[in-house]
Amino acid sequence: MYIRMTAKRIELLTVILLLVGTAAAPALERAIQLGRGDEWADLQYRLGLRLQKGYRGELDLFLEDGQYQPDPDTDLLLQFNRTPFHDAAGLYRVLGDEHRLSSPGRLGEGAARFDGAMQGLVLEATPEAMFAPGQSWDNFSIEFWLYPAVLDDGESIIRWTGSRRIEDGRLDQRVQVEVERRRLRWEFDNVFLTPANEPHQVVLEGDRSLIPRRWSHHLVRFRADTGLIEYLVDGVAREMTHVTHSGRESGDVYLPYLGRASDARVALGEGLSGLLDQLRFTRRYVSQPMLDRTSDAPAVAVTRPLDLGHPLAQLSAIEARYQTPAQTDVFFYYRLSDHIHADDLHTGWRQFEPGEEPAYAERGRYLQLRIELYPDGSRRESPSVSWITARYEPASPPVAPVRVRAEAGDGSVQLYWEEVVDPNVEGYYVYYGTRPGQYFGAGADLGRSPVDVGDTTEVELAGLQNGTVYYFAVAAYDAAGITPETQFSQEAHARPSRRYE
């Protein structure tokens, strides 16, 4: 069964595994559910995936968003995935009465939400941080994702103030990123140190207006060897200049320095209405900012071995609900075995195509499922998987043989029973002992109890003690060799005795 609902780009995949000629009665079929209410607890391995609320508010599988991770050059990394907000680089403490989270964010699980009336957030720098008093910078980059709601003039994204001493007093310093004429204006007032300690301002502004309620990426980066400072919006350079004596690439480069009389705090989101995500300061010129939402590599999920109870259990169908927007894809695989291969994640998989009948007839006890999620070509869209249901027919053990008869002989007993009419029956076990229901006998010429007598309906057990009563039960076994004790035949008994001529 394969249902496609094109209007909503929702696909309900039912991969039918026609592995038997005749469908079992519905009462015999069982199902293993993954997803929905269990939060994918049966996943053994997960790479590049995240769990996020999706269909009907339950946790679905999505591609993991590409996010920066701290490295030795990272000065600040605020991912805003959960509250309370914290700096992943560990050099700033986030202060504020309210940490408001909007979920999901541009990347990851959340973003910082500002409503224009709240005070905003404050970053308190440690002595090693870039915005600590007395710090000098070489290469640096400042970047973030912004989702503005209104773009009113004066909305502040980042603000830092300080001062440094000069011969005749102090020189005020400021780093300010704020909205002006629906654009972001970056100001570095007296941050770049000139040889004569003169006032010096660097202003960068985009050449295009931003659009409310749309995410955009903003990056300012500086190269200490050439003095180049650039402002990029969504990876495209919008303005650049050189912080040098000549204002061009040639000439002495002015490097940033924060005065020792400066404040060790950076304010975020003062008066801002909108969302802020993935704020990063780094002591490096970022040449390739992370703009794609996802990686181009597939994400993989593998379930633990799911026990179907018996090596002859038969898989009848796999159903899955998933979404594939744009050019995204989801591929499904399975493997069925009598043994657990939990550590091997790469071999033995067979792919299912929607509506296609596999050419394999398999049975097995342990089922594993593999799911691969692929992004679209722009790496901005993610498929999702809401749930998977594996349906199977549990193997029923052979029924017990009937009409078991025991005829005593001289030091032996001859046993007879009716054949069990079942194509799965491979043979019979004969159990014997000297007490009713306790089949721990030994001494028979065919060996200790139970005795595998093969595919026959009669057998002679010799080597028994004359005068001792023996109790017998017979059970059929299938290809798996499993015989539950509940499938024993009715008990028979006989007492061997010496025969006199």
Q: 378-433: per-residue pLDDT in tens?
A: 787 889 999 999 888 887 778 899 999 999 999 999 999 999 988 878 899 999 99
- Asked whether the beta carbons of 166 and 312 are under 8 A apart, the reply is no
Q: What single-letter DSSP state applies at residue 419?
A: P
Calpha distance 494→409 (Å, rounded): 9
The pLDDT of residue 313 is: 84
325 contact partners, CB below 8 Å, separation of at least 6: 9, 376, 381, 382, 383
Is the residue at 14 inside a domain? yes
Last residue of a domain, one of 393, 426, 459: 393
Calpha distance 187→160 (Å, rounded): 10
Evaluated on CA atoms 230, 236, 239, 241, the torsion sign reads positive
Q: Are residues 39 and 119 in the same domain?
A: no
- Whether residue 312 has pLDDT greater than 50: yes
- Whether residue 11 has pLDDT greater than 50: no
- Whether residue 182 has pLDDT greater than 60: yes
Calpha distance 437→489 (Å, rounded): 11
**Element spanning 43, H or E:** strand 43-47
- Write down how long the chain is: 501
What percent of the residues of the chain are helix, what percent strand, and what percent coil, each to the nearest 5? 5, 45, 50
Query: What is the average per-residue pLDDT within 254-276?
Result: 94
pLDDT digits 0-9 by tens, 26-61: 447 889 999 988 889 999 999 989 888 888 888 999
Residue type at position 319: E
Q: Are residues 342 and 409 in the same domain?
A: no
Last residue of a domain, one of 282, 317, 338: 282
Q: Are residues 427 and 387 in the same domain?
A: no
Mean pLDDT lowest among 105-109, 205-209, 461-465 = 105-109
pTM: 0.62
Look up the domain containing 421 and give its range: 405-494
**Which comes out higher in pLDDT, residue 234 or 109?**
234
Q: Are residues 277 and 379 in the same domain?
A: no
354 confidence band (pLDDT: 50, 70, 90) = low
The pLDDT of residue 481 is: 62
Is the residue at 399 inside a domain? no
Q: Mean pLDDT, the chain, as a whole number?
A: 87
Is the residue at 400 inside a domain? no
Q: How many domains does the chain have?
A: 3
Is the residue at 288 inside a domain? no
- Whether residue 248 has pLDDT greater than 50: yes
55: phi then psi, degrees, rounded to nearest 5: -60, 125
- Asked whether the beta carbons of 100 and 113 are under 8 A apart, the reply is yes
The pLDDT of residue 29 is: 83
Is the residue at 365 inside a domain? yes
Is the residue at 310 inside a domain? yes
Last residue of a domain, one of 349, 368, 393: 393
Q: Are residues 274 and 139 in the same domain?
A: yes
305 confidence band (pLDDT: 50, 70, 90) = very high
- Asked whether the beta carbons of 192 and 254 are under 8 A apart, the reply is yes
The pLDDT of residue 243 is: 96
**Which comes out higher in pLDDT, residue 296 or 459?**
459
Is the residue at 118 inside a domain? yes
Calpha distance 52→39 (Å, rounded): 10
Tokens at residue 394, please? 């549990």
Pick the closest to residue 361 from 6, 20, 10 (CA basis): 20
Query: What is the average per-residue pLDDT within 436-455?
Result: 94
Q: Are residues 105 and 243 in the same domain?
A: yes
Q: Are residues 389 and 425 in the same domain?
A: no
What is the CATH classification number for the domain harbouring 9? 2.60.120
Q: Are residues 421 and 383 in the same domain?
A: no
Mean pLDDT lowest among 147-151, 442-446, 479-483 = 479-483
The pLDDT of residue 6 is: 28
The pLDDT of residue 293 is: 78
- Whether residue 136 has pLDDT greater than 90: yes
Calpha distance 393→313 (Å, rounded): 6
Q: Are residues 118 and 249 in the same domain?
A: yes
Calpha distance 324→317 (Å, rounded): 21
- Whether residue 360 has pLDDT greater than 70: no
What is the CATH classification number for the domain harbouring 268? 2.60.120.200
Q: Are residues 380 and 319 in the same domain?
A: yes
Calpha distance 98→121 (Å, rounded): 8
What is the CATH classification number for the domain harbouring 443? 2.60.40.10
Query: What is the average per-residue pLDDT within 159-184?
Result: 93
Calpha distance 101→94 (Å, rounded): 14
% of residues, the chain, pLDDT over 90: 61
Calpha distance 264→405 (Å, rounded): 95
- Whether residue 199 has pLDDT greater than 80: yes
- Asked whether the beta carbons of 266 and 158 are under 8 A apart, the reply is yes
The pLDDT of residue 484 is: 58
| Complete DSSP assignment for 338-390 | SS---S--SSS-EEE-TTPPPS-----SEEEEEEEEE--TTS----EEEEEEE
352 confidence band (pLDDT: 50, 70, 90) = confident
Query: What is the average per-residue pLDDT within 235-249?
Result: 93
Q: Are residues 336 and 419 in the same domain?
A: no
Neighbours of 37 (CB within 10 A): 9
The pLDDT of residue 355 is: 54
**Which comes out higher in pLDDT, residue 412 or 342?**
412
Is the residue at 348 inside a domain? yes
Q: Are residues 159 and 230 in the same domain?
A: yes
The pLDDT of residue 441 is: 93
Neighbours of 25 (CB within 10 A): 8
Query: What is the average per-residue pLDDT within 122-131?
Result: 96
